[in-house]
Chain A
Amino acid sequence: MSAPDRGQPAVGASGAPPARSPAGTSVSEQLQHALDRISRVRGVRGSMWVAAEDGIPVAQLLMEGVKGKAVAALAASLARKVSGAAAATGSGRVRFVQMEAAGGTLLVAPAAQDLLIVALADSRVNVGLARLEMIRAAEAALP
């Protein structure tokens, strides 16, 4: 697993002191901590926080060879389409999306502040565990 992409601006890292949660951890630390937990699940090749609106990565933890920008853009676009279809079926707001393919799985969980948590995994992934970690992160209150 490669180090988090330092080229991407982390939330709260803009020159001013990073925003801190009541527990005393910065927002970017919280985001990275969530990615750490998700990426420890067997089969996960990378996880990231993505701006839902424009598909830009906010923070990421990826294995070598995973194209972060492409994953972010495609996951955001897919999530938008699936949300539209869910609305058309009267199913309400989408909480979790899983796209299964022959060579792996893409997981997306919408979170607060117009963010998505995205995970790319190979076919050995324990989807149930990854889902739990992602939904837990998505539901964790962001300041």
Chain B
Amino acid sequence: MPDDIRSLSDALARDPRSLVYVDLAEALRRRGQREEALQVALQGLTRHPMHADGHDCLARIYADLGDLERARLAWSKALEIVPDHLGSLRGVAFLLFRQGDLRAAESALMKLLARSPGDDGAQRALAVVRAGGAPAAEPAPRAARRRTEPRILAALRPEVFHGFDRATDDILLLDQRGLVLAGGLTEADGKDASELAAAALAGVSGEAARTAEYLGLGSWSAIVAEAESSNLVVAPVGDGALLLVRRDRSIAVGLALRFAERARGIALAWLQGQGA
């Protein structure tokens, strides 16, 4: 059991009424132990039903589990308790956008920015929603949503690679289960390919580790793949995360590797800051 989870579990065991259950559930969620995280959050909320942070944490767990309706209910509950709850405002904006309700998403983002004007991610997301030509009352047409969605999804993800060329189109950070952590990957037609690519890359990481181990090569540090239209660099980051950098074929492989190495350093620092 990792140290942070052990110490949080011990703290909760010593004082079951403590609010530390949120930290424990969040730590479990980040490590991919979503069912355990769900149990901890639900149990904590039975003791603290009016704890907005607890409902916010529960919503993120449901979102990870793909249960967006329960996530919406949990964020709504948090906002009933604390109308200015920043995490919940951000979560609701994300869900509204996913559901195609751009007007409501815009409203939620404006509310978020009113409470937290320095939130760069929310500012970028708002700009994307507005640039998408949101209709007043109806969900966005599918085609418009498809054009806009990758940009807003990327904007709502943590801004890890700010300043890098094509930071939300060609750089992707994922965890060992193939879930996107930051950055983004778009196809030539603007469609978001992040999740598909992340799922495919999780298999590459395992295969590389197995190959390096069997062949006595030690730990692997990078895979470079030269393909028809682009060069890909895949590199492990910290304990289980994976970075993908895609560069145009016209860019030399050596430069792509240097670029990836810089991005890897940034990603590592960010993950360490997250306690991962």
Q: Which A residues have a C-beta under 8 Å from some C-beta of B?
A: 67, 70-71, 74-75, 77-78, 81-82, 84-106, 120
- Residues on the A chain within 8 Å of B219, using CB: 101-102
B229 touches A91 (CB 8 A): yes
Q: Which of A88, A104, A120 contacts B193 (CB 8 A)?
A: A88
Q: How far is the CB of A9 from chain B (nearest CB, A)?
A: 24
B188 touches A90 (CB 8 A): yes
State whether A91 and B227 are in contact (beta carbons under 8 Å apart), knowing that A85-B204, A100-B221 are contacts in the complex. yes
Q: How far is the CB of A136 from chain B (nearest CB, A)?
A: 14
- Residues on the A chain within 8 Å of B63, using CB: none
Q: Mark contacts of B206-246 with chain A using CB atoms, 8 A cut-off: 1 yes-contact digit, 0 otherwise.
A: 01101110111111111111111111101000000000101
- A108's closest neighbor in chain B, by CB? B225
Q: Which of B19-61 contact A (CB under 8 A)?
A: none
Q: How far is the CA of A143 from the CA of B221 in the complex (A)?
A: 38
State whether A84 and B203 are in contact (beta carbons under 8 Å apart), knowing that A101-B218, A104-B217 are contacts in the complex. yes
A94 touches B226 (CB 8 A): yes
- Residues on the A chain within 8 Å of B230, using CB: 89, 91-92
- Residues on the A chain within 8 Å of B95, using CB: none
A91 touches B225 (CB 8 A): yes
Pairs A–B under 8 Å by Cβ, sample size 20: A71-B215, A74-B210, A74-B211, A74-B215, A77-B207, A78-B208, A81-B204, A88-B200, A90-B188, A90-B193, A91-B230, A95-B226, A95-B227, A97-B223, A97-B225, A98-B225, A100-B224, A101-B220, A103-B217, A106-B215
Q: How far is the CA of A94 from the CA of B207 in the complex (A)?
A: 17
Q: How far is the CA of A78 from the CA of B204 in the complex (A)?
A: 7
Q: How far is the CA of A88 from the CA of B224 in the complex (A)?
A: 16
Q: Which of B214, B221, B222, B231 contacts A74 (CB 8 A)?
A: B214
Q: How far is the CB of B95 from chain A (nearest CB, A)?
A: 26
State whether A95 and B228 are in contact (beta carbons under 8 Å apart), knowing that A75-B211, A90-B188, A102-B221 are contacts in the complex. yes
- Residues on the A chain within 8 Å of B215, using CB: 67, 70-71, 74, 104, 106, 120
Q: Is the interface of A mostly helix, strand, loop or mixed?
A: mixed
Q: How far is the CA of A95 from the CA of B226 in the complex (A)?
A: 6
Q: How far is the CA of A68 from the CA of B173 in the complex (A)?
A: 34
Interface residue range, chain B: 35 or more
Please tell me if B199 contacts chain A, counting CB pairs below 8 Å.
yes
Q: How far is the CA of A92 from the CA of B107 in the complex (A)?
A: 40
Q: Which B residues have a C-beta under 8 Å from some C-beta of A?
A: 185, 187-188, 193, 196-197, 199-201, 203-204, 207-208, 210-212, 214-232, 234, 244, 246
Q: How far is the CB of A111 from chain B (nearest CB, A)?
A: 14
Q: Which of B220, B225, B228 contacts A100 (CB 8 A)?
A: B220
Most buried by A among B200, B201, B215, B234: B215
Q: How far is the CB of B232 from chain A (nearest CB, A)?
A: 6
Q: How far is the CA of A7 from the CA of B201 in the complex (A)?
A: 36
Q: How far is the CB of B141 from chain A (nearest CB, A)?
A: 24
Q: How far is the CA of A82 from the CA of B205 in the complex (A)?
A: 10
- Residues on the A chain within 8 Å of B188, using CB: 90
- Residues on the A chain within 8 Å of B204, using CB: 78, 81-82, 85
State whether A81 and B228 are in contact (beta carbons under 8 Å apart), knowing that A74-B214, A89-B246, A102-B217 are contacts in the complex. no
State whether A91 and B246 are in contact (beta carbons under 8 Å apart), knowing that A102-B219, A103-B218 are contacts in the complex. yes
